[in-house]
Amino acid sequence: MRLAVIPGDGIGPEVITEALKVLGEVAPSVETTTYDLGASRWHATGELLPESVLGELRQHDAILLGAVGDPTVPSGILERGLLLRLRFELDHHVNLRPARLYPGVRGPLADTSAEIDMVVVREGTEGPYAGNGGLLRKDTEHEIATEVSVNTAFGIRRVVADAFKRAQERPRKHLTLVHKTNVLLHAGSLWSRIVEEVSLEHPDVTVAYSHVDAATIHLVTDPARFDVIVTDNLFGDIITDLAAAVTGGIGLAASGNLDITRRNPSMFEPVHGSAPDIAGQGLADPTAAVLSVSLLLDHLGQRESARRIEASVAFDLATRDQNNPGSTHAIGDRLAALVSS
Amino acid sequence: MRLAVIPGDGIGPEVITEALKVLGEVAPSVETTTYDLGASRWHATGELLPESVLGELRQHDAILLGAVGDPTVPSGILERGLLLRLRFELDHHVNLRPARLYPGVRGPLADTSAEIDMVVVREGTEGPYAGNGGLLRKDTEHEIATEVSVNTAFGIRRVVADAFKRAQERPRKHLTLVHKTNVLLHAGSLWSRIVEEVSLEHPDVTVAYSHVDAATIHLVTDPARFDVIVTDNLFGDIITDLAAAVTGGIGLAASGNLDITRRNPSMFEPVHGSAPDIAGQGLADPTAAVLSVSLLLDHLGQRESARRIEASVAFDLATRDQNNPGSTHAIGDRLAALVSS
Ligand SMILES: CC(C)[C@H](C(=O)O)[C@@H](O)C(=O)O
Ligand SMILES: CC(C)[C@H](C(=O)O)[C@@H](O)C(=O)O
């Protein structure tokens, strides 16, 4: 396996070190190449993602990314120029974000009995993230700014099909479309039509619909209702942060940016950001990065190793001192030991 | 005071009956005209909001609306043709949504010590709600659907100015812009510029920024951080449902759709929908409708009456049996008695 590693900014490098430590235990022969991309490269050279680097990344089986973002770089530069550019260039149309409340983890909700175990399939290459839109009469009192959400039958169908396939394989076989079809009539009708069409191929998957605003209510009052959620790029961004919060925080949330055609390497990353305020202090929880490695192995067909990592994380979460889980290194060491035991 | 009443669909009429009962106690001379708009009128006549009715509505000092929406009407018809049409025609640019955790109310969060008391100023007449966009190659595999978020300096400035004014009058004097400036670069830069500009006129208001995805996390892990939030139409839709949920549910959440220039009557409505599943059974909580009357009176300068209603609600919430608050009528009777006592 040839793995490209982009540690990135802030706590990215710290959590990636621990994730690679754990990966080394189950896949000792993995070949890694590290790419220096992010804030410091941009400051030093003005480069975000040179074509040559993009070409090299394409030669790998998968990419592991830490985090991107720094307060010294204007908002949007690294996000659009590096992170989103990778997702778009590598056609990462399925942004896969499981949210599970592990035993022993205390989330913010009072009801601790709910069994939260959902997977959000977020569309990753279109919608309001297309970057379409513009400014007119900039910096005047008559300025107009537009953002165009672009939604295609092609783009939606491949994501909806993937979500149904995942629902089909899960015990509850339940899928919820999250959108805002009562206001965004054009995009809403297209999403609804395609979910309806694909559902005909999966008669044993039950289908529900929730407006995105109502979905945020359900996520805090009855999160157990969700099994697989399929949704657009922006709604997926919002509800996966909330889903991560109710399952114990973004310190635990992993994600995969998948090209399910496998023409391009998929990219795995913790949902959390670069957290510059705690960078370099050993305070970051590497668990999300480690779980991202588990998703990576699962995607590459190494199911056994993936499960072993997830089980080790589950064991550690059930037994760790929640108020004092240990340093970044200490957690990584514990997880590595569990995985190899 | 001339008040137009639109009871609407589902539980709308039930909660409006109680809201008017309470209003009658503080403003016995109010003149009300009821307008039959909503699902049944649409079924009977195909009409959503006839021009003549719109003209009559404009002659009132304010509008009180119950709820709009019915499962027998295709999604979007009533929403766009009636509710949003009212908001747009009457230039309801400030969609005001307070979220306060009243003593005695149990929300879904484990941390019951947090003092949640925020006001969301949601832009109400543009953004992704503009209705701009369209379909190409409809019903084919090559269909494309767009939604255009339209943001103007004019539209943003008046809302941001209102939000700063409200922040200025509150003890904490804190304002948070919620947006997604790292992805929606055009709209994001315009919102950021205007918040920065208006902040110069309010040097004692502290300003923070939160991405909408992070804001959903804060709303469940640290909601007390928020004082005034200003945000766009769609983000406001999403986070106010979540804010309502963490403060005890949409049974309690009130809203005002304000034309702050007072050229058009403002419209007050509970945040909840028509809840057809519980309609006609006396199960709906009229508290949100009653609190909407309080917002209405406040907007019309009847501060004393507004405060009396809010205090009565606060007392009832602190003393009611949370598991068994009583029927729609019973709650309305209790609140009316408290207000008149
Ligand atoms: C950093 C940002 C561009 C990104 C997104 O909006 O997708 C992040 O929030 C995420 O969810 O991965
Ligand atoms: C019913 C719907 C059109 C409306 C909205 O999206 O604004 C509702 O959700 C609200 O928040 O008042």
Measured distance CA(B186)–CA(A80) in Å, rounded: 12
The per-residue pLDDT for B294 is: 98
Could A213 and B84 be called an inter-chain contact, meaning their C-beta atoms sit closer than 8 Å? no
Catalytic residue among A91, A129, A162, A298: A129
* CB-CB contact of A122 with A231 (8 Å): yes
Catalytic residue among B237, B259, B298, B316: B237
Pick the closest to residue A70 from A24, A37, A31 (CA basis): A37
Could A186 and B133 be called an inter-chain contact, meaning their C-beta atoms sit closer than 8 Å? yes
Q: Is B213 in the pocket of ligand 1 (CB under 6 A)?
A: yes
A97 annotated ligand binder: yes
Angle at alpha carbon of residue A33, lines to A30 and A37, rounded to 5°? 140
Nearest Cβ partner of B143 from A79, A108, A153? A153
From A211's Cα to the closest Cα of chain B, the distance in A is 9
Report the nearest atom of ligand 2 relative to the CA of B87.
Answer: 7
Structure tokens at B73: 């009407």
B281 annotated ligand binder: yes
Beta pairing class for A266-270 and A254-258: antiparallel
Mean pLDDT across the stretch A128-146?
97
Q: Which of residues 100-129 of B touch A (CB under 8 A)?
A: 106-112, 128-129
Quickly list H helices, B46-124.
51-58, 77-78, 84-89
Q: Could you confirm whether B237 is annotated as catalytic? A: yes
Report the nearest atom of ligand 2 relative to the CA of B241.
Answer: 11
Contacts with B74 (C-beta within 8 Å, 6 or more apart), sequence order? none
From A217's Cα to the closest Cα of chain B, the distance in A is 5
Measured distance CA(B7)–CA(B89) in Å, rounded: 19
Q: Which residue numbers in chain B have pLDDT < 70?
A: none
From B160's Cα to the closest Cα of chain A, the distance in A is 14
The per-residue pLDDT for A17 is: 98
The per-residue pLDDT for B54 is: 98
Question: Does any CB of chain B come closer than 8 Å to the CB of residue A189?
Answer: yes
Measured distance CA(B296)–CA(B26) in Å, rounded: 12
Quickly list H helices, B10-60.
12-26, 39-45, 51-58
Q: Could you confirm whether A117 is annotated as catalytic? A: no
The alpha carbon of B319 and the centre of ligand 1 are apart by a number of angstroms equal to 44
Q: Using one digit for the tens of pLDDT, what is the confidence trace for A93-114?
A: 999 999 999 999 999 999 999 8
| Strand order through the sheet with A206-211 | A31-34, A2-8, A62-67, A266-270, A254-258, A94-100, A117-123, A228-231, A174-179, A206-211
Q: Using one digit for the tens of pLDDT, what is the confidence trace for B72-101?
A: 999 999 999 999 999 999 999 999 999 999
Contacts with B123 (C-beta within 8 Å, 6 or more apart), sequence order? B93, B94, B95, B155, B156, B159, B230, B231, B232, B233, B236
Could A250 and B189 be called an inter-chain contact, meaning their C-beta atoms sit closer than 8 Å? no
Q: Is B214 in the pocket of ligand 1 (CB under 6 A)?
A: no
Q: Could you confirm whether B180 is annotated as catalytic? A: yes
- Number of inter-chain CB pairs under 8 A, A vs B: 215
A171 annotated ligand binder: no
Q: Is B182 in the pocket of ligand 1 (CB under 6 A)?
A: yes
Nearest Cβ partner of A108 from B110, B148, B182? B110
From B112's Cα to the closest Cα of chain A, the distance in A is 9
Domains in chain A (CATH in brackets) are 1-91+274-341 (3.40.718.10), 108-246 (3.40.718.10)
Identify the DSSP state of A227. Answer: S
Q: Using one digit for the tens of pLDDT, what is the confidence trace for A196-229?
A: 999 999 999 999 999 999 999 999 999 999 999 9
The per-residue pLDDT for B6 is: 98
Closest residue in A to B140 (Cα) is A153
Could you tell me the pLDDT band of residue A166, with boundaries at 50, 70 and 90?
very high
Q: Using one digit for the tens of pLDDT, what is the confidence trace for A34-71?
A: 999 999 999 999 999 999 999 999 999 999 999 999 99
Query: Phi and psi at residue A9, in whole multiples of 5°?
Result: -105, 170
Q: Is B83 in the pocket of ligand 2 (CB under 6 A)?
A: yes
The alpha carbon of B206 and the centre of ligand 1 are apart by a number of angstroms equal to 26
Q: Could you confirm whether B241 is annotated as catalytic? A: yes
Q: Using one digit for the tens of pLDDT, what is the confidence trace for A174-191?
A: 999 999 999 999 999 999
* CB-CB contact of A102 with A124 (8 Å): no
CA torsion through residues A221, A227, A231, A233, sign: positive
The per-residue pLDDT for A138 is: 97
* CB-CB contact of B142 with A154 (8 Å): yes
For residue B229, give Cα distances in angstroms to B152, B235, B252, B298: 19, 11, 19, 20
SS3 state of residue B83: helix
Beta pairing class for A254-258 and A94-100: antiparallel
Nearest Cβ partner of A153 from B140, B157, B249? B140
Q: Is B88 in the pocket of ligand 2 (CB under 6 A)?
A: no
Pick the closest to residue B158 from B205, B206, B91 (CA basis): B91
The per-residue pLDDT for B289 is: 98
Structure tokens at A6: 């982009």
Report the nearest atom of ligand 1 relative to the CA of B211.
Answer: 9
Could B242 and A140 be called an inter-chain contact, meaning their C-beta atoms sit closer than 8 Å? no
A59 annotated ligand binder: no
* Number of other CB atoms surrounding residue B139 within 10 Å: 10
Structure tokens at A316: 């550690």
Tell me which ligand sits closest to the C-alpha of residue A217: 2
The per-residue pLDDT for A253 is: 97
* Number of other CB atoms surrounding residue B136 within 10 Å: 12
Question: Does any CB of chain B come closer than 8 Å to the CB of residue A216?
Answer: yes
Q: Is A47 in the pocket of ligand 1 (CB under 6 A)?
A: no
Nearest Cβ partner of B76 from A142, A181, A241? A181
Measured distance CA(B14)–CA(B328) in Å, rounded: 7
